[in-house]
């Protein structure tokens, strides 16, 4: 009942000359039953949306400012992102939380701005290795979800991505039981907060070292509705098999 989603976060990678990656995805997934999203750096949003118009690949940004406009040098508002034709924005990625100090309240404000501008907010959360080892993963994730997700969210405006920090870019992934445990907790919290209908309909992505060879097992895990993929989304020959695994799941 939940439409599956494969989202690629290019982080600070890519250039106009490399946008042919999108052509490969468009060609291989023309009739995809899944939502496919690529989130390139801001300068590539317009060429990417132009290239993907009318096709199976949607475009998203990697962050936005909570305010609509003003003296915020270097920042980009959700309205500006929507104006490029993008449909999504990632907020609360651990790289933003760690390097820029984004708090749950700031992430929530960014997500509100995204949703108010017609974008789907992909809200990221996840624990560090020391937090997991201290047994703090579930309480932390519960608090991040409560603090980062806007009150007015619906299944049409919110996607939640669980990204354990220690799995990002490391080649390590949690056990499937650990992923299932976190996703079950997230599902229960969403149902408690938004009611059964909305809480069951909000998509939950797993992110952190998703690769072609582990994707099928991850997608077979309860309450995993897709993936947020970093490194393996940069090349069509890596991302396309992940999308195929999702399409078959
Ligand atoms: P990797 O897939 O490279 O581990 O990155 C995950 C991530 O941070 C996606 O947002």
Mean pLDDT for the chain overall:
98
Q: How confident is the model at residue 39 (pLDDT cuts 50, 70, 90)?
A: very high
The CATH number of the domain holding residue 55 is 3.20.20.70
Which position among 93, 183, 189, 244 bears the catalytic label? 93
- Split into its structural domains, the chain has a count of 1
- Domain hosting 228: range is 5-248
- Provide, rounded to the nearest whole percent, the portion of the chain with pLDDT above 70: 100
List pLDDT tens digits, range 94-119: 999 999 999 999 999 999 999 999 99
Residues 6 or more apart from 41 whose CB is under 8 A from it?
10, 11, 12, 13, 14, 62
pLDDT of residue 47: 98
Neighbours of 26 (CB within 10 A): 18
Q: Which run of H or E residues covers position 37?
A: strand 35-39
- Strands 5-9 and 203-207, how do they pair? unpaired
Ligand 1 atom with the smallest distance to the CA of 211 is: 2
- Looking only at the bridges linking them, the beta strands covering 57-61 and 226-229 are unpaired
Q: What is the pTM of this model?
A: 0.98
Q: With 90 as the cut, is the pLDDT of residue 1 above it? A: no
How far away, in angstroms, is 116 Cα from ligand 1 center? 27
Identify the residues whose C-beta falls under 6 Å from ligand 1. Answer: 9, 93, 163, 168-169, 207-210, 228-232
Question: How does strand 226-229 pair with strand 88-91?
Answer: unpaired
| Token reading at 101 | 């100090």
């Amino acid at each position: 009942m939940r439409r599956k989603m494969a989202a690629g976060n290019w982080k600070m990678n890519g250039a106009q000359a490399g946008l042919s990656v999108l052509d490969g995805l468009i060609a291989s997934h023309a009739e995809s039953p899944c939502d496919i999203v690529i989130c390139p750096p801001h300068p590539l949003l317009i060429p990417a949306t132009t290239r993907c118009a009318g096709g199976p690949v949607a475009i998203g940004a990697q962050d936005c400012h909570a305010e609509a406009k003003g003296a915020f040098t270097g920042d980009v508002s959700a309205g500006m992102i929507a104006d490029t034709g993008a449909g999504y924005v990632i907020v609360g990625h651990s790289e933003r939380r760690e390097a820029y100090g984004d708090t749950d309240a700031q992430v929530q404000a960014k997500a509100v701005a995204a949703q108010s501008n017609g974008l789907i907010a992909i809200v990221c959360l996840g624990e560090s290795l020391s937090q997991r080892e201290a047994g703090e993963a579930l309480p932390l994730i519960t608090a991040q979800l409560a603090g980062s997700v806007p009150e007015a969210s619906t299944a049409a405006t919110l996607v939640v991505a669980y990204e354990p920090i220690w799995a990002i870019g490391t080649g390590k992934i949690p056990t499937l039981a650990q992923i299932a445990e976190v996703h079950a907790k997230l599902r229960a919290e969403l149902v408690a907060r938004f009611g059964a209908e909305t809480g069951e309909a909000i998509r939950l992505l797993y992110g952190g070292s998703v690769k072609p060879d582990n994707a099928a097992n991850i997608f077979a895990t309860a309450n995993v509705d897709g993936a947020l993929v970093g490194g393996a989304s940069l090349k069509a020959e890596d991302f396309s098999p992940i999308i195929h695994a999702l399409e078959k799941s």
